[in-house]
Amino acid sequence: MANSSTDFFLKVYDVVREIPYGKVTTYGAIAKAIGEAKSARTVGYAMNASHQFDDIPAHRVVNRNGVLTGKHHFPGTYVMQQMLEAEGIEVVDDKIINFKTHLWEPEIRL
DNA sequence: CCAATGACTACAA
DNA sequence: GTTGTAGCCATTG
């Protein structure tokens, strides 16, 4: 409870849950939104643990290049891509087309 | 406690 | 635009 590490995870999940349908965001944006801009890497780690939750759209989180770097952590090979395509996002070569157009930036939380 | 790992990012060449 | 290096921080061994 309220351990500093757990708190970080909860903050990440809180932001990821707010990603609107058909939109995506980056690890850095999430880290920045929770006031841990330098912990972008740890955000990805939190995503790895998000598999135990069913309300964390981790497929909407990509790196700053719009590349599905985390697709290897999904059960299937193209699961993440199919999920994005199901939301109207074009994905080619593990990369989001018009990434900037689908990009959604979370609000800064203090 | 120390070393290694990783779903990242920024900067230099 | 691509490639390499460094910084960052929570988790694991």
The predicted-structure confidence for A58-104, as pLDDT tens digits, reads as follows 999 999 999 999 999 999 999 999 999 999 999 999 999 999 999 99
* A74 domain residue, yes or no: yes
Task: Name residues whose C-beta falls within 8 Å of residue A33's C-beta, 6 or more positions apart in sequence.
Answer: A15, A105, A106, A107, A108, A109
* Assessment of whether the complete model's pTM goes beyond 0.85: yes
Residue A25: C-alpha distances to residues A5, A38, A61 (Å): 22, 16, 5
Q: Which residues does residue A26 pair with via DSSP β-bridges, in sequence order? A: A62
Nucleotides of C under 7 A from a protein CB: 7-11
* A109 domain residue, yes or no: no
Q: Is strand B within 7 Å of residue A95 (CB)?
A: no
Nucleotides of B under 7 A from a protein CB: 6-10
CA→C1' distance for A79 and B10 (Å): 30
A31: CATH? 1.10.10.10
Helix (H) / strand (E) element for A89: namely none
- Considering its fold, how many domains does chain A have in total? 1
* A89 domain residue, yes or no: yes
For A46, the domain range is 4-102
* A58 domain residue, yes or no: yes
* A64 domain residue, yes or no: yes
